[in-house]
């Protein structure tokens, strides 16, 4: 069985290259192509594709909005996003719009066959590079959330102490400025190290600066 395929991309050379590749695959039959989101939406009334390869960055209506509008009218469409390397920030938006997979434009024939098979069988498909990128984004987001939680756990007084430490003041000088005892200053420093899990004051200052909790 051949799946009816449409290609939506504003670059003529890429569309032709992808079409040539698809024509080598018995499971795929290219029934149309469009150079813009609006052109694709118009063609949908006279074409009935099973699978759509959708470019993300197009002038006018981008692939995210086009995907959203197309699926509102034709919820059975199976859309695969096409992206250049380094555009991983669009993955989440495309998935929220309803895309079932995400491919880099350097895709080869074997991967293309696998992607078509997965999508046709209601499975998602992502290029390996995209999976690595998404995993890294999730890790960074989690790390950022954890760092923010640490910053929020620091009291106003602790941050005042850390700000003065970062400016080179000693415990005795900080105690005098804040009208507290040097022992209390030391207690605040130890508390901050304990909360953050960092090993020394220099690391603590760097961490606080990176998260904009203090400034120099």
**Domain 3-134 bears CATH identifier 3.40.50.2300:** yes
Contact status, residue 116 vs residue 28, Cβ threshold 8 Å:
yes
C-alpha triplet 51, 105, 99: angle, nearest 5°: 40
The predicted pLDDT at position 88 comes to 61
**Three-state DSSP state, 31:** strand
The predicted pLDDT at position 2 comes to 82
Place of tokens 């009208």: 179
d(CA 53, CA 61): 15
* Host H or E run for residue 160: helix 156-166
The predicted pLDDT at position 184 comes to 94
* Host H or E run for residue 116: helix 109-120
Q: What is the mean pLDDT of the chain?
A: 88
* pLDDT tens by residue, 51-103: 999 999 898 999 999 999 999 999 989 999 988 755 566 777 888 888 888 88
The predicted pLDDT at position 111 comes to 87
Average pLDDT over residues 35-62: 92
Domain ranges of the chain: 3-134, 154-210
* CATH T-level assignment (fold) for domain 154-210: Arc Repressor Mutant, subunit A (1.10.10)
Cα separations in angstroms, 79 against 56, 104, 181 = 11, 14, 65
Contact status, residue 51 vs residue 22, Cβ threshold 8 Å:
no
* pLDDT tens by residue, 106-119: 888 888 998 898 88
Return all residues near 77 (Cβ < 8 A) that are at least 6 apart: 49, 52, 70, 71
DSSP 34: E
pTM attached to this predicted model: 0.64
Domain pair 3-134 / 154-210, same fold: no
Contact status, residue 97 vs residue 62, Cβ threshold 8 Å:
no
**Percent of the chain at pLDDT above 70?**
92
* pLDDT tens by residue, 161-186: 999 999 989 999 999 999 999 999 99
Region of poorest pLDDT, from 78-82, 130-134, 206-210: 130-134
pLDDT tier at 199, thresholds 50, 70, 90:
confident
């Amino acid at each position: 069985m051949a799946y009816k395929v449409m290609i939506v991309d504003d670059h003529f050379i890429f569309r032709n290259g992808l079409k040539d590749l698809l024509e080598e695959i018995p499971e795929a039959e290219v029934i149309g192509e469009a150079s813009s989101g609006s052109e694709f939406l118009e063609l949908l009334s006279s074409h009935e594709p099973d699978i759509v390869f959708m470019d993300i960055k197009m002038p006018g209506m981008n692939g995210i909005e086009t995907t959203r509008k197309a699926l509102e009218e034709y919820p059975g469409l199976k859309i695969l996003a096409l992206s250049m390397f380094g555009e991983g920030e669009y993955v989440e938006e495309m998935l929220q719009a309803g895309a079932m997979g995400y491919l880099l434009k350097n895709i080869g024939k074997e991967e293309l066959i696998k992607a078509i098979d997965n999508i046709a069988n209601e499975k998602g498909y992502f290029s390996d590079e995209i999976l690595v990128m998404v995993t890294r984004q999730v890790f960074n987001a989690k790390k950022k959330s954890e760092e923010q939680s640490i910053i929020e756990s620091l009291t106003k007084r602790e941050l005042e102490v850390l700000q003065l430490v970062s400016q080179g003041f000693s415990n005795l000088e900080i105690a005098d400025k804040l009208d507290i005892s040097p022992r209390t200053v030391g207690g605040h420093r130890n508390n901050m190290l304990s909360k953050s899990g960092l090993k020394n004051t220099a690391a603590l200052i760097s961490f606080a600066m990176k998260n904009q909790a203090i400034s120099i």
